[in-house]
Chain A
Amino acid sequence: MGEAASSEVTAVAAATSSQDPEVGLAAVAALRGLVEVLEALQVENARAKGWSWQAIAAKLGVTKQAVHHKYAGGRFRLRRESR
């Protein structure tokens, strides 16, 4: 346990990234968590710059309903109400 074990894990992870499902799946899950945050950041930024849902959806490669359903009703709605 401890620092030695953790560096061992790193070495193992680096050596078998795609072979060991334990590491591979966890890595993909971490990546998805990262992607969702970056997407939320970019969508919020685009909305703040006055982009339409349609334009955002086109860039993300999804329908405008999908992006609206996912992100409308969060901070954007609050912001509109406060104006």
Chain B
Amino acid sequence: MIGRSEHGRRVLDLAREEAARVGHRYLGPEHLLLGILRDGGSGAARVLQAQGVGLEAARAALGRLAGRGVVPGSRPSDAELLGTLGIDLEAIRRDTEQTFGRKALGWAIREATRARRGGIGRVPRTPLESPPVLATQALYLASQHAKTLSRGAVSPELLLLGVITDIQTPWPRCMSNPWVRQLHASVGLPEGYRGAAGALLAALGVDLDELHDAVSAELRVAVP
């Protein structure tokens, strides 16, 4: 795996922010597109803008997809949900980290969500971890592109290329086991969710092949 460039990491952080902004409790490929547009300073954003995709238009299109049930609508965060029960999630996070250390807390989160024999006490996710990343294939493909193009790091352009190829590639079978389905349901995603970036681009009237060619041109290479 090839790591992300500083710019790529910034885009990813903005994608997380965009997801939280619309009340989505996961990070999908569709949010990566919003993150690229929100950042605005990359070749990837220029390519999208040249195709007539702006940040506001993309946000509105994602809102329409939520109306159609392709992606979930706004959902309260875990901190807000626990707040209704009078529990201060941030205080618990702070106290446990101070008492047991960050490492032990990370281990306990893995322990609570790991696949045990019989699945006793297993939870799909915990409020103490950040929202699940459901754009892993897009990120993986982006790093694969970085490898084939012999780039040292994953830039926003490669992220966009990863999202495009993710739309064209079926998700692997490991993404449809009962635990993944449980995780998807726990963040309100409809059954059979395989990323909504394709639906988002289609709603914006973008031709995928054209976009692919434009990104390849931006990277100044032909990508098979």
Q: Do A and B come from one complex?
A: yes
A2 at the interface (CB under 8 A from B): yes
Interface residues of A in 1-56 (CB under 8 A from B): 1-3, 5-6, 9-10, 13-14, 17, 23, 26-27, 29-34, 36-41, 44-45
Interface centre among A38, A39, A66 (most CB of B within 10 A): A38
Chain B residues with CB below 8 A from A40, complex form = 107-108, 111-112
A-B contact count (CB 8 A): 116
Other-chain contact of A33, B59, B76, B123 (Cβ < 8 Å): B123
User: Taking CB as reference atom, which chain B residue is nearest A32?
Assistant: B123
Main DSSP-derived SS at the B contact region: helix
Chain B residues with CB below 8 A from A3, complex form = 21
Please report the C-alpha to C-alpha distance between residue A75 and residue B107 in the assembled complex, in whole angstroms: 9
Give 16 new A-B contacts, CB below 8 A, not counting A31-B85, A44-B108: A2-B21, A5-B22, A10-B76, A17-B85, A30-B82, A32-B123, A33-B78, A33-B112, A36-B112, A37-B108, A37-B128, A38-B92, A41-B96, A41-B104, A70-B121, A74-B111
A-B contact list, 8 entries, CB within 8 Å: A1-B63, A6-B21, A9-B23, A13-B80, A27-B82, A27-B85, A33-B126, A33-B127
